[in-house]
Amino acid sequence: MPPKIAVVIPARFASTRFPGKPLFLLAGKPMIQHVWERSARAKGVDRVIVATEDRRIADACARFGAECVLTSEKCRSGTDRVAEVARRKLRGFTHVLNVQGDEPLVDPATITRLASTMAAAKDVRMITSASVFEPGDDVASPNAVKVVMDRAGDALYFSRSPIPHVRNATQGLRLFRHQGIYGYTMELLLQFVKWKPTLLEMAESLEQLRALENGVKIRVIVVKHAGVGVDTPADAAAVAPLLERRRKISTRSFQPS
């Protein structure tokens, strides 16, 4: 059976730090619309669905033409929400990509690379992406999740602490920032949400550690584009000018000569 890949975008209204975040207007559009539009531009994706527990988000999605599924309010995480959509709506699909609903600058090219890698590599059951920390980035920030990989490009560990600890200067060593986008085989996704949270997962508050603790290899694709998540109103204020600039460039590009 040829690979069939869906993107599911979990979007929760009741954010503790930023209630109503998916509907916050950025460059004239709700945040969730930016995520959906950029996901829909990715190649190798057969379907893009927003998953939410809130009717207001579902109504907004209907206005801009996105497919949306109302999920249970009992879902503990975005991954649980994605899995519910997979069980209910994605019969016949082989892979699912979980794209966070608070990433309005998510790069379609990153989604394309993850989708194409999953489609081509039968041994990849779970995949994510990372980018290199640039000079001046706050590597110590717990909000910037770090990842280290083996020589095959599979994750060894994820942490909110800087890893590796650089005791000795090592030429060519690069530090990687994890990006919160995941791809799963359908089989693994439905198994993953049945596993109980693990000790390392709870200690770091990083759900992907549950997969590592259960022996799942996670392929890490290194990309140039660093994702920008929106967790607070201050983050939204920082992202808004970037989206507005892109909107103006796009508008100028389509003006008749």
| Distance in angstroms (rounded) separating the CA atoms of residues 153 and 171 | 19
Give the pLDDT score at 244.
82
Cα angle value 104/250/221 (rounded, 5°):
45
Whether the Cβ atoms of residue 111 and residue 36 lie closer than 8 Å to each other: no
Q: Is 17 helix (H, G, I), strand (E, B) or coil?
A: coil
Average pLDDT, the chain: 92
CA–CA distance, 26 with 236 (Å, rounded to integer): 8
Could you read off the pLDDT of 119-157 as tens digits, one per residue? 999 899 999 999 999 999 999 999 899 999 999 999 999
pLDDT digits (tens, 9 = 90+) for 4-61: 999 999 999 987 788 899 999 999 999 999 999 999 999 999 999 999 999 999 999 9
Is residue 186 over pLDDT 60? yes
Torsional sign, CA 114, 115, 117, 122:
positive
Residues in the chain: 257
Question: Which two three-digit tokens encode residue 240?
Answer: 């808004």
Amino acid present at 165:
H
- Domains identified in the chain and CATH numbers: 5-185+196-230 (3.90.550.10)
pTM given for the model: 0.92
Rg (CA), the chain: 18
- DSSP for 115-157 reads HHHHHH-TT-SEEEEEEEPPTT--TT-TTS-EEEE-TTSBEEE
**Residue 49, SS3?**
strand
At which residue do the structure tokens 């392929």 appear?
219
Contact indicator for 143, 231 with CB cutoff of 8 Å: yes
